[in-house]
Structure 1
């Protein structure tokens, strides 16, 4: 969750309707370009147009040695695609996001989150991810998906948009699809399985030509699948494939064997030690500047508030919202334009959620006080096409012209599911804010008597230390640490 700037926030549903209407009328750069052809001027213009938006939606651009390292590796692997002849033609950005994600858009713009980079164990895996994304661009997958979508008249409005915002296809909350609602939908439509396999194959081809070990694609996908499964276990979910490698990428677990077969017995460099030394000290998980999730509590030391998710729900922090997810409903904490009147604020949020086709308004609207904060809330019952649901907006006035709100959706008659959430919102003291420190990657060398269990004890978590250590370091089955080899642990430090 970022340092919100209300002047830059739009009503998501309204923006989504407008962007869908625009994309349905516009030509699609790249749709008629042969795969593998150099970047066109139209594609470059499109990439530049949406670059700042993507960066803002994914936590901002990281700078410094770590970002320059990712850029260097990304530009080198992108050159193997033939899309351009100079490294400077590619803009490779390391994003300050705690979600495992990577994507690329037309025009040579390639993105990876620091969390995904932290999951990797060598430079070849970093090149594999970035090469995979460049492969999507080289094959013009996004343009072809958009062309097909337009033929099928993709782009529902009204309650369909409401459902996507509140529920989404992916409960992570931070997805490329949500970014699409603000003007870039055709860049980030979900890829088909065949397109994913083609991008994997192209990425492996680029690894070979750059001299990297092509098996890195399979090992990275294996780590992603293991992280998905661990996330599901920690969050109490049955479905381990929900938090995929971005909402646009099918489950990586299904692609591991194919990638391994494509790589065969070929070999190349991995640059493991170089990679680990470059990511040493990188923030892992949430950045305090964007707020942190600690168990069921979310605390934002900069904005000075905290709240607690209901029992049985899990949270995911994203640049535009904090999502609270469970079988009994979904909620998000976010914000909208605020003119100082909470009732107007709540009505405007409902109006934005409904979009132009659905005149959504609260059927009840009440004022209250929560832990000293002025608050207002409203509920509306809506038919979502298959059944009725209750939509609730609960807003708080934090003073100085700033308001935040939860927007929730639950089955009809169960709007009270999130009452404990709404009532838990509170200010925090300067001392509480000052005690919040980030987790970071620390590179350590295994000693002769070290084991996975022994090294995992240093992981800065109260639960699943061994499982977290294994996934973070790509150790599967009963694989043990090797004396003299470097490994990643997660520590608390400023």
Structure 2
């Protein structure tokens, strides 16, 4: 490498060093704390575009209280932390730069005591205090920038531009591997810090191991369910995902927090925590629509739609996505503002290019082949539109080798208002609490559950007794209604 380029690279690296608030050592970061807070605010707005905040004031207050107490003992207690419960069935929690911590109602549903909630929040606060997201951002930047400098050096010294591009590509891949290699080290550091904060506040840090058990049980169930349903497993790779079930290193890290334990530890009431979960939404939210198999029920929109058998359907805040059995066809359903379009055909002509083979479908719809522009160029699709109040339902079908014409037309033809018997389905499921009676079993409770197939396994997961064990008489249990 030419000396001038080496000097530039070394100087640039040194300029990005900052003191780690946890270790006191130097970290390579390309972001000041002020910039981190600005970035965190931007990311927060993006998160809230994807997720709704869960509407449960009591639960939100509990999360903010516990999170605030833990953050006050953290190595960055001066940050203005924001704790948010997201209205999502995903089993997830994560932190973003600047003190933003998120936890889903989906993971809270599987918790059985306050300490488990504190364990997740403490772990995420650990990521914030150690500036893991900032360090990851900087590592990615150094991988890209150093690759560019070295590529330029090779091209300059050898006169071979292709060789320079090869170095650029190779170091870029190395940089990504380096970043992904941080996974377990960062997770263990967050565990260590979270356990310390729990102990200092008065919680038992050993309860963090229970959260790992919850997630590993979820993973085991999902792998089995996916195998029986003949589909790829939807396994989460985030919170605690790097830890095996009996992780001796994790146990050592958590036990190291014993020296921070207080003389008067907290005494919490598991039943009081469970009572706070009574009425918690379980699974899909009625506000975002309910998926039951391939049928979609939306109460607020008074909408029913059915997708083809064998298609995998995913519901999120902005759209319904259905993927065909061969993974080479897709349909997307969106509800968009109608504007001043008087008819479905008029809307399609205004928003798509080269409309052709158009015809009405049903009494309020229109379908055609159309073109749309994306980053890769012109995309041809089958589209169908139907007016829905002051908005328009748009169903788009795309295919790698062939458009899903028949499937789009069948799906569009299924759109209708909810029938009276379907309004209960559209209301969704909620957690309810019952006291176990002598002789109660999870198999018996499952037979009375609306969860259908795999109801017993899901009830066991909810109550921390997967894959075996039965409730004790008088035990407070979570069931689904």
Q: How would you bin the TM-score normalised by the shorter chain?
A: 0.7 to 0.9
TM-score by length of 2: 0.72
Deviation larger for 33-42 or 323-332:
33-42
Indicate whether 1:441 and 2:431 are aligned: yes
**Alpha-carbon offset, residue 128 of structure 1:** 1.5
Structure number with higher relative contact order (C-alpha < 8 Å, ≥ 6 residues apart): 1
Q: Matched residues in 1 for 2:187 and 2:381: separation?
A: 38
Query: Could you tell me which residue of structure 1 aligns to residue 50 of structure 2?
Result: 57
**Alpha-carbon offset, residue 231 of structure 1:** 4.2
**Alpha-carbon offset, residue 118 of structure 1:** 0.7
**Alpha-carbon offset, residue 409 of structure 1:** 4.5
1:415 to 399, 404, 420: 404
1:140 to 126, 131, 137: 131
Structure 2, unaligned runs of 5 or more: 1-15, 25-31, 146-179
Query: Could you tell me which residue of structure 2 aligns to residue 316 of structure 1?
Result: 314
Report if aligned partners of 2:364, 2:386 keep a CA contact under 8 Å in 1: yes
Indicate whether 1:426 and 2:418 are aligned: no
Report if aligned partners of 1:215, 1:259 keep a CA contact under 8 Å in 2: no
Query: Could you tell me which residue of structure 2 aligns to residue 163 of structure 1?
Result: none
Looking at CA atoms only, which structure, 1 or 2, has the larger radius of gyration? Answer: 2
Q: Matched residues in 2 for 1:332 and 1:96: separation?
A: 22
1:307 to 297, 305, 310: 305
Report if aligned partners of 1:395, 1:403 keep a CA contact under 8 Å in 2: no
Deviation string 1:300-324 (CA, Å, 9 cap, x unpaired) is 1111222122222333322222232
The number of residue pairs the alignment matches comes to 410
SS in 1 for 2:297: strand
Indicate whether 1:213 and 2:204 are aligned: yes
Deviation string 1:344-394 (CA, Å, 9 cap, x unpaired) is 8658877xxxxxxxxxx67x6443344433233436699999xx9986353
1:244 to 221, 236, 242: 236
SS in 1 for 2:109: helix
SS in 2 for 1:482: coil
Indicate whether 1:262 and 2:253 are aligned: yes
Report if aligned partners of 2:54, 2:105 keep a CA contact under 8 Å in 1: no
- Give me the CA root mean square deviation: 3.9
Indicate whether 1:456 and 2:442 are aligned: no
**Structure 1 residues 272 and 291 mapped into 2: Cα distance closer, same or farther (>3 Å)?**
same
**Structure 1 residues 331 and 252 mapped into 2: Cα distance closer, same or farther (>3 Å)?**
farther
Q: Matched residues in 1 for 2:252 and 2:447: separation?
A: 36
**Structure 1 residues 71 and 478 mapped into 2: Cα distance closer, same or farther (>3 Å)?**
same
2:61 to 57, 60, 68: 68
Query: Could you tell me which residue of structure 2 aligns to residue 334 of structure 1?
Result: 334
**Structure 1 residues 230 and 191 mapped into 2: Cα distance closer, same or farther (>3 Å)?**
farther
TM-score by length of 1: 0.71
Query: Could you tell me which residue of structure 1 aligns to residue 172 of structure 2?
Result: none
Query: Could you tell me which residue of structure 1 aligns to residue 476 of structure 2?
Result: 486
Deviation larger for 202-211 or 290-299:
202-211
Deviation string 1:100-129 (CA, Å, 9 cap, x unpaired) is 222222222211111211121211111121
SS in 1 for 2:53: coil
Deviation string 1:242-291 (CA, Å, 9 cap, x unpaired) is 3416xx55746646625345335969766422321211111112221211
Report if aligned partners of 1:123, 1:275 keep a CA contact under 8 Å in 2: yes
